[in-house]
Every structure is written in C-alpha cells, then in structure tokens.
Structure 1
Amino acid sequence: MVTKIDHIGIAVKNLEETLKFYGDVLGIKCVSQEVVEEQKVKVAFLPVGDTEVELLESTSEDGPIAKFIEKKGEGIQHIAFKVDNIEEAIRELEEKGVRMIDEKPRYGAGGARIAFLHPKSTSGVLIEISQRD
C-alpha cells in the first residue's frame, strides 16, 4: 500500500521566518508555495532527497494548524505516506479497522488527493495518505 514517505508536515507560526531558517541555515530551498483555502493554510514545499518538508502556516485563527499550535506548539503536525491508489488504500485501512478522518479523498496542496487517519488508530500520530498523479 505505502510506497514511500511523501512529506513531513510541520506547523509554524510564521512561514517566511521559518523559510529563512531552512534556506539560510540548512540550505533547503522552497520550490513552491500555495494557499489551500479549504484547509485554512498556507504551505511551502521544500524537497529533501525524494521526500519533502511541508511547512504549514494557518491563514485563520480557527484553522486546524492554528488550533494545533495553540494546543501543542510549533512542530511536526503530520507524516504523509504516498500511495498509488488512494480509494483502494482508504478501503483497505477501513477493512483493517482503522478509524479515518476522511472516508473519501479530498484536495491537498501540490495537487495531491489526500485522506487523514485518526490519531486514535495510529498511536497518536496524525497520518496522511497522499496520491499525486
């Protein structure tokens, strides 16, 4: 089902400041930025080898990233695994008793189709599955 780690999502308060750290200190350059209105988030993608770091800044005080930062502070918010067929992956996970946040794929950043697994089924880790065509 899973073919690789697609990206690691990191919740940040200030995207531009964080991008300076990743670029100036670590030498990791941003290749794209976009706003995903549905998720109330501005994202930046930074490739590292064959995976990416996804920095997420909330565009709204009531957005999921803002709530995450308020509760847990800045840091790793989710890990995303690449799958070849997201509908099949969701069905297989549900058959195995995994509680899903998304029972159907939705639009994610970078043109991906995504679905989240509930942390209560994954030892407290928010896991995303992602299909990019």
Structure 2
Amino acid sequence: MLTKINHLGIAVPSLSEAIPFYRDHLGMTFQGTDEVAEQQVRVAFFQIGESKIELLEPTGPESPIAKFIAKNGAGIHHVAYEVDDLVEALRKLESEGVRMIDRTPRTGAHGTLIAFIHPKASGGVLTELCQLAH
C-alpha cells in the first residue's frame, strides 16, 4: 500500500522566516510555494533525497495549522506516505476499522490527492496518505 515517505509536514508561523533556514543553511532544494485555500494554509516544499519537507503556514486564525501552532507551538505536524491508489488505501483502512479523519480524498498542494488518518489510530502521529497528481 505505501510506496515511500513523501514528506514531513512542519507547522511554522511564517514561511518567509522559515524558508531561509532550510534553503540557505541546510542547502535543501526549494521547490516553491502553493496555497491550499480549502485548508487555509500556504505551503513551501523542499526536496531532500526522495522525500520532501513541507512547511505549513496558516492563512487565517481558523486554519488547522493556526490551531496546531496555538496549542503545540511550531514543529512537526504530520508524516505523509505516498500511495499509488488513495481510494483503495482508504477503503482498506476503513474496512479494517482504522479511525480516519478523511473517508474520501481531498485536494492538497500541487493537485495531490490527500487524506488523513486520525492520530489516535497511529500512536499519536497525524498521518497523511497522498497520491500524486498525474
């Protein structure tokens, strides 16, 4: 079902303040930014080997990322695993009784299909499944 770790999501209060660290100090390849209005978030991606780092900046006070930062501070928000068929992965997990946040895919950054597994199902880790846009 899983093909690789696609990215680690890191909640930050400001992309403009966070980007230089990853790009300039760590030397990661900056791949640009995107806004996902539905989730009230702006994202910046960095390539590191086969995986990415995704910085998440809230665009409004009701954003899940704004709420995460208010409760936990900036830091690791989620781990995202790539799958070939998100609909099938969700069907399998639901049939096995795994607690889900999303039962159907939604659109993430760069047109990727995404869905989240509830952290209570995965040892306290918010887990994202993603299927790349083709």
Check whether TM > 0.5: yes
Q: Percent identity?
A: 53
The normalised TM-score by structure 1 is: 0.98
Aligned match of 1:45: 45
Aligned match of 2:19: 19
1:110 counterpart SS class: helix
Structure 2: how far apart are the matches of 1:32 and 1:93?
32
2:93 counterpart SS class: helix
Say if 2:9 and 2:78, in contact at 8 Å, map to a contact too.
yes
1:97 counterpart SS class: coil
Aligned match of 2:72: 72
Runs (4+) of structure 1 exceeding 2 A deviation are none
Aligned length: 133
Structure 2: how far apart are the matches of 1:24 and 1:5?
24
Structure 1: how far apart are the matches of 2:44 and 2:25?
17
Aligned match of 2:89: 89
Give the RMSD, CA atoms, in angstroms.
0.7
The normalised TM-score by structure 2 is: 0.97
2:23 counterpart SS class: helix
Structure 2: any 5+ residue segments left out of the alignment? none
The one-character-per-residue Cα deviations of 1:16-73 (angstroms, maximum 9, x if unpaired) are 1110111121111311201100000000010001110000000001100000000001
The one-character-per-residue Cα deviations of 1:69-108 (angstroms, maximum 9, x if unpaired) are 0000100000000000000000001111111111000000
